Structure 1
Amino acid sequence: MKSCRIHIMGASGSGVTSLGRALADSLAIPHHDTDDYFWRPTIPPFREMREAAERLKLMGEMFLPRAGWVLSGSLNGWGDTLVPDFDLVVFLVTPREIRLQRLRAREATLFGTDALAPGGWRHQQTEEFIEWASGYEEGNAGRNLAKHQAWLAALPCPVLRLDGSRPLPELVAEVHRAIGGQANPT
């Protein structure tokens, strides 16, 4: 493979960002996450969405022209123009219980356990987010397994499906095997 442009996707909490960072580090290429383009930087985070055209413009300025990069996160219909840029798509499937544990831990890290506790300023939003994420397999609104499966089936590039509950070094090694261990970090 002359270049290494990899998109990693899956349900919230499946481990796409963790795998994206680890894989990019192992290949010595940049890692980018769709959340960094989808959301405007706010304190607290995840309050203001960017328009799709602005997201794509930023991505084009930040990394798309490079031969090597890893992009983690969902493009969920707004980023279909990026599909021709992918050399490989990695789809992580992780059991719901593990995903929800990871999401609760991530929310606690981001906002603090007091904020998530009943009566805390972030409690209601977190519970709504967890409820939404728990419906991924059944077809919740927005991002869900059926939409992801249909999107994956139409891709022109190879798709590697991995169990996101496996240890991170194993997942990185599996992607390395899929790409032949080659990268062009220019």
Structure 2
Amino acid sequence: MIKLQFCIGKHKSNMRINIMGASGAGVTTLGRALANATGYAYIDSDDYYWDNAGHASPFTIRRQAANRNQMLLHDLRSHGNWILGGPVMNWGVLEHVNFDMVVFLQLPPQLRMARLKKREHERYGDIIFSDATRNRQFVDFMNWAAGYDDNTAPSSRTLQNQLSWLQSLNCPVLRITGDTTVDDRLNRVLKAIQQADI
């Protein structure tokens, strides 16, 4: 993996990047790889949306919106350069945040869903099939994730909503579609950062 070295004083301003897409599109993987290559802080929106502390079933307890937003804005403001993983377009924080670049990831639906199923099993084990409560959570999650591409998800996290929001942006938007490698995605983002900083 390429490590991009930045010289102190090279940048005219801080770089604030949002990486977004459907669940399972590779947002977190790319975000962490980009953070490792640049030294930018990586901040994952899931860590603010969900309160996983002390809960046996993670990603089930939502934080109160006001607390979530306060925590997120505090952490974003504490870093000069940062990468925010995940969409936050309906959180009510964007009036306080300016993105210098948005990276949008999109995978074919069947591939994305297969990766999600594999990820969930690797993360939690057979309990998502053997325990009735955990299986219901798994099925509900997979159904919600499947609704992204056909815009039937019972939330704002749908392909149509994200594409509409991207069209409203004034900052550069880098769209990466298809089953590309992490290194390929990383190199494309690094090149876009360098071009934006000229």
- Shared fold (TM-score greater than 0.5)? yes
Distance 1:45 1:106 in 2: 14
Paired positions, count? 182
2:49 — aligned with what?
38
The gaps in structure 2 that reach 5 residues or longer are 1-10
The answer to whether structure 1 residue 122 and structure 2 residue 134 are counterparts is yes
Equivalent residues in 2 for 1:66-85, closer than 5 Å: 66-81=79-94, 84-85=97-98
Distance 1:124 1:102 in 2: 19
Measure how far apart 1:31 and its partner are: 0.6
Cα deviation 1:144-166 (Å, max 9, x = unaligned): 01100111111121111002520
| Residue from 40, 55, 66 that aligns with 1:29 | 40
Cα deviation 1:32-87 (Å, max 9, x = unaligned): 11000000123321121112221121012223342201111121411452674211
Equivalent residues in 2 for 1:49-128, closer than 5 Å: 49-81=62-94, 84-112=97-125, 114-117=126-129, 119-128=131-140
Q: Which moved more, 1:99-108 or 1:31-40?
A: 99-108
2:5 — aligned with what?
none
Q: Describe the SS at the equivalent of 1:132.
A: helix
Q: Describe the SS at the equivalent of 2:58.
A: coil
Q: Which amino acid aligns with 1:129?
A: F
The gaps in structure 1 that reach 5 residues or longer are none
Residues 51 and 61 in structure 2, CA contact (< 8 A), matched pair in contact too: yes
Q: Which amino acid aligns with 2:56?
A: I
Higher relative contact order (CA 8 A, sep 6+): 1
Residues 4 and 182 in structure 1, CA contact (< 8 A), matched pair in contact too: no
Residues 111 and 122 in structure 1, CA contact (< 8 A), matched pair in contact too: no
Please report the TM-score for the alignment, with normalisation by the length of structure 1: 0.89
Residues 69 and 93 in structure 2, CA contact (< 8 A), matched pair in contact too: no
Cα deviation 1:107-153 (Å, max 9, x = unaligned): 112211x2122555421211121111112111122110110011111
1:4 — aligned with what?
15
Distance 2:195 2:96 in 1: 22
Measure how far apart 1:103 and its partner are: 1.1
> Aligned-pair RMSD on alpha carbons?
2.0
2:177 — aligned with what?
163
1:173 — aligned with what?
187
Instruction: Give the direction of change, closer, same or farther, for the CA distance of 1:43–1:85 in structure 2 (3 Å limit).
Output: farther
